[in-house]
């Protein structure tokens, strides 16, 4: 199971990861175990990995998951699947009611090898809540095991939301992306970045597509969407968020948000 790490819940509180989980039963390992932990705004679970796959669901608040492959933003009523052995870090925005489910990799071999965000249906929400109540050594031939099997099966058909921000490895692209991460509203073009990056705008544009699968414009829009979700989850009004992340008007920002996530910011977050 997970290595022991420390979690800085805020600037003044240091919490051991042991507080996040119940003791594991001795003997035969169960295909799934679950626990809950409430975390405050700004809590950070620093870089670590697990021997098990992990489903993290936040009933409230927003989480940002980072791995070497990029970042995923997880709004309320969504969950992130993290495969076994993936180094990752979790940052909380707002008060997060974190519910974590550990799954043996062989119990869900059909999942892809990287993180993904999924919608939590009402059924999955109730199944996760029920899994929280299971005894550590539940009977592998009893009703608890059948509940676990239904929960694992429910993960297979969950629709995936496009909330991934892939990160390039090219040093020149990193110069650009780190600058934009520090200031998502920066309006500069690739031509403007070319001198600092040490490559032509055409080379940068070609490498962006090759390394992230997105054009520079699409990547920047995805970054702005991530930043906007975090700000909205913190309670900032739509108008100020729109200008902070680089849009000329709230209507332009809302149009981008609706096109990306299928709803207006208010309705999208209200689903949680």
Question: Over the stretch 187-198, which tens digit does the pLDDT of each residue have?
Answer: 999 999 999 999
Could you give the C-alpha distances from 134 to 44, 100, 192, in angstroms and in order?
27, 13, 57
Q: What pLDDT is stored for residue 6 in this prediction?
A: 36
Task: Provide φ and ψ at 39, rounded to 5°.
Answer: -120, 145
Give Cα 77 to chain centroid, integer Å: 12
Residues with Cβ within 8 Å of 73's Cβ and at least 6 positions away in sequence, in order, are 62, 63, 64, 65, 117, 163, 165, 225, 226, 229, 230
45-66 average pLDDT score: 89
Domains and CATH numbers, the chain: 6-156 (2.60.120.810), 168-270 (1.10.10.60)
Task: Provide φ and ψ at 249, rounded to 5°.
Answer: -155, 155
Give Cα 265 to chain centroid, integer Å: 18
pLDDT band (50, 70, 90) for residue 160: confident
| pTM higher than 0.85 | no
Q: What pLDDT is stored for residue 114 in this prediction?
A: 84
Identify the CA nearest to 41 among candidates 82, 88, 98, 89. 98
Radius of gyration of the chain (CA): 20
């Amino acid at each position: 199971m997970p290595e022991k790490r420390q979690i800085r819940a805020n600037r003044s509180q240091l919490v051991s990861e042991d507080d996040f989980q119940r003791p594991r039963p001795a003997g035969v390992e169960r295909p799934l175990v679950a626990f809950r932990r409430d975390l405050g705004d700004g809590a950070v679970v620093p870089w670590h990995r697990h021997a098990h796959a992990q489903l993290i669901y936040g009933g409230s608040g927003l989480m940002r998951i980072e791995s070497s492959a990029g970042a995923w933003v997880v709004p309320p009523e969504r969950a992130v699947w993290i495969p076994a052995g993936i180094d990752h870090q979790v940052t909380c925005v707002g008060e997060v009611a974190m519910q974590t489910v550990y799954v043996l990799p062989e119990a869900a071999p059909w999942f892809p090898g990287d993180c993904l965000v999924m919608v939590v249906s009402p059924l999955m929400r109730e199944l996760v809540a029920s899994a929280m109540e299971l005894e550590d050594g539940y009977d592998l031939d009893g009703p608890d095991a059948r509940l676990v099997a239904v929960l694992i099966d429910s993960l297979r058909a969950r629709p995936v939301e496009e909330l991934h921000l892939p990160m390039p490895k090219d040093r020149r692209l990193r110069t650009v992306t780190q600058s934009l991460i520090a200031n998502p509203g920066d309006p500069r073009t690739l031509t403007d970045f070319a001198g600092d990056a040490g490559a032509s705008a055409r080379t940068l544009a070609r490498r962006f597509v090759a390394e992230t699968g997105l054009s520079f414009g699409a990547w920047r829009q995805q970054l702005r969407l991530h930043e906007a979700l975090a700000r909205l989850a913190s309670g900032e009004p739509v108008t100020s968020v729109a200008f902070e992340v680089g849009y000329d008007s709230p209507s332009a920002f809302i149009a981008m948000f609706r096109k990306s996530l299928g709803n207006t910011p208010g309705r999208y977050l209200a689903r949680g």
